Amino acid sequence: MKNVKNTGKAQNAARRDTSATWRHIFASLRPYAAHVGISVMLSAASVVLMLLIPIKIGSVIDLLLGKGEVDFDAVVPILFLILGMAAATGVATWISGILNNMVAYGITRDLRREVFGHIQTLPLSYIDRHPTGELVSRMIADADRFSDGLLLGFTQLFTGILTIIGTFVFMLTINVWITLAVAVLTPLSIFAAKFISSHTYSMFRRQSETRGEMTAFVEEMVAGQKTVKYFVREDKTLSEFDEINERLTECSVSAIFYSSLTNPATRFINAVVYAAVTLTGALFVIAGGVTPGMLTSLLSYANQFAKPFNEISGVITEFQGALASASRLYSLLDEPAEEKECKRVLADASGDVAFSHVRFSYSPERPLIRDVCIDVKRGQHIALVGPTGCGKTTLINLLLRFYDVTDGKITVDGEDIRELTRHSLRASYGMVLQDTWIKTGTVRENIKLGHPDATDEEMISAAKAAHADGFIRQLPHGYDTVLGEGGEVLSQGQRQLLSISRIMLSTPPILILDEATSSIDTRTEADISRAFTKMMAGRTAFIVAHRLSTIRGSDLILVMKDGDIIEQGTHSELLARGGFYCHLWESQFAGA
């Protein structure tokens, strides 16, 4: 009994999901209403012309049979008329196909743009919870699958429905009883197709989800291939891939196997219908109620009447996969964006920053930041130190509003940052992270990322200040050298120097340096530190560091542990206390 209830709930959820997906699709069609309208009219015209041809052919056959000679004066004009109608049908179908392609691929383009734009507005917590490859799979593979299904719908569904209606009307004008027999028997193929397709939707959805899982896994393993080889994890990685691949194969084979039953089932039913029309029509010809030409037209119509049912059943089957993919795309669009922000703009920030009783947790049952209070004045340099996982980077994420505080508030120049636009807030920060990000493009474009209007002289000056100019000029095309994804042609240290050059160029009022020199050799680090000292003069700076030697000159050092600030003071004050900071210092420099 419990399983029946669970199955019922799952079916109701699937119906709601499908209904919501269809609403989204119709909403996406609105901008293309004119294209769809013209396409429908052209489809109707082509169907009418196509259905007139069998009548004309039947007339020709009646003119050829039962006479001693052929009346060419009557036959030839009909043949030319048939040729003209066929040409007009071809032109109408061609133009309709162009419009259908414009609609299908236009919707897919708009949807991809909307999804990509929505990803920019999603809270960082959503991005952190979902693998990058899975999101990429939705935007690429699912969008392509949806586009293919949509195109099939436009090219075959509209024409098929019009053909069924038109053929039925034309058959009625020839013989009512044969028409009724065809109309009763042929739809059986639709019922067979619907029965099969209703059981394949969940299979296609599972296939899309597993494909996304595989994309995420492959992307992750390719990106970390050096680590995989270093730890000799090739066999383990391959076995994990095989497990996902096997699941993808199983759900793909199941979905395709059951969906492939549609075509032979409908063809069998249509063959029975055609045989019944042939036999019944032959009896009517013998009885004299139908001419041979009329029977030829009826057989042609019976075949045309059945053909759309085959196509529609195929479209329905294909649509199950397309709907599953569309559902994944629209469910991403339905994810709530970051909370709507206020319109207050932070302009010309001076650099006063305060944390007032700030609390934060990624999940309610695991509090991380507990009652942090900091008051930073303009131009002060604040260092955050402590063991891994103590909350240093989390404080920076809160400062940047990548996450919002659970309780308390953070202010910049006395303004609660939740009441400021994120753009104006983040524009007031300059940040260099341990994990650098280099976009595909030239060195010039990467350095000017935060200040695209800067002159080349300003850019080169910033690169020299960051000690990056030397290695840049050694690249094949200097500042115009194109860097690939992630800047793989550069060392980690060189990528970090480029990131530092960006900040040197933009010089915002508040600086955030999260292990900014962790990948740089000692000699270059000393040069960079001098450049940083010059750049930070008069600016507020937050420095996250594990190497304590880099933060000795800070105005205030905050020592964190388990989300709390357990000590604070200058370097000399903290050493004199002999507490946790002193222990960290001695552990790094023992025997030095």
| Bridge pairing between strands 540-544 and 556-561 | unpaired
Q: Encoding tokens for residue 356? A: 């007032």
Beta carbons of 49 and 96 less than 8 angstroms apart = no
pLDDT value, residue 91: 92
Q: Which residue has the tokens 């013998």?
A: 286
576 CA to centre of own chain: 55
C-alpha–C-alpha distance, residues 281 and 290, integer Å: 7
354/591 Cα distance (integer angstroms): 39
Helix, strand, coil percent values for the chain (each to nearest 5): 70, 10, 20
Q: Structure tokens of 335?
A: 């994810």
Pick the CATH number of 18-333 from 1.10.3720.10, 1.20.1560.10, 3.40.605.10, 3.40.1280.10: 1.20.1560.10
pTM beyond 0.75, yes or no: no
Burial class (CB in 10 A: 0-12, 13-18, 19+), 227: exposed
Q: How far apart are CA 73 and CA 65, in angstroms?
A: 15
pLDDT in tens, 323-348: 778 888 888 888 887 777 677 888 87
Any idea what DSSP says for residue 411? E
Maximal CA-CA distance, the chain: 125
User: Could you say which DSSP state residue 475 is in?
Assistant: S
Cβ neighbours, 10 Å, residue 419: 13
Q: What is the pLDDT along the chain (592 residues), one digit of tens a residue?
A: 444 444 444 445 455 567 777 788 888 888 888 888 888 888 888 888 888 888 787 777 777 765 556 667 777 888 888 888 889 988 988 998 888 888 888 888 888 888 888 888 887 778 777 777 778 778 787 888 887 777 777 667 777 778 888 888 888 888 788 778 777 777 776 677 667 666 676 777 788 788 878 887 887 787 777 677 766 777 888 888 889 888 888 888 887 777 777 777 777 777 777 777 777 777 777 777 677 777 777 777 777 777 777 677 667 767 777 877 888 888 888 888 777 767 788 887 888 899 998 888 877 777 788 888 888 888 888 888 888 778 888 888 888 888 888 889 999 988 888 888 888 888 888 887 776 778 888 889 888 887 888 888 988 988 888 888 888 999 888 999 988 766 677 877 788 788 888 888 877 888 888 776 666 677 767 766 777 777 777 888 888 887 777 788 888 898 888 878 888 888 889 888 888 888 888 887 654 4
Beta pairing, strands 556-561 & 564-569: antiparallel
470-474-475-477 Cα dihedral, nearest 10 degrees: 100
How far is it, in rounded angstroms, from Cα 473 to Cα 500? 17
Q: Which residue ranges make up each domain of the chain?
A: 18-333, 353-589
Angle at alpha carbon of residue 349, lines to 432 and 436, rounded to 5°: 10
Residue 355 main-chain phi, psi, to 5 deg:
-105, 120
Which whole-number Å values give the CA distances from 320 to 252, 323, 390, in the listed order? Answer: 13, 5, 48
**Mapping DSSP to helix (H, G, I), strand (E, B) and coil, where does residue 123 land?**
coil
Pairing of strands 415-416, 510-514: unpaired
Q: How far apart are CA 481 and CA 475, in angstroms?
A: 7
The answer to whether residues 61 and 296 touch, using CB atoms and an 8 Å cutoff, is yes
Nearest to 459 by CA among 440, 476, 445: 445
The alpha carbon dihedral of 39, 40, 44, 45 has a sign of negative
Q: Of 532, 565, 573, give the one whose Cα is nearest residue 550.
A: 532
- Quickly name the fold that domain 353-589 has: Rossmann fold (3.40.50)
Contact 372, 564 (CB under 8 A): yes
Residue with tokens 């930070």: 536
Phi, psi of 569 (to 5 degrees): 155, -175
- What is the amino acid identity at position 503? I
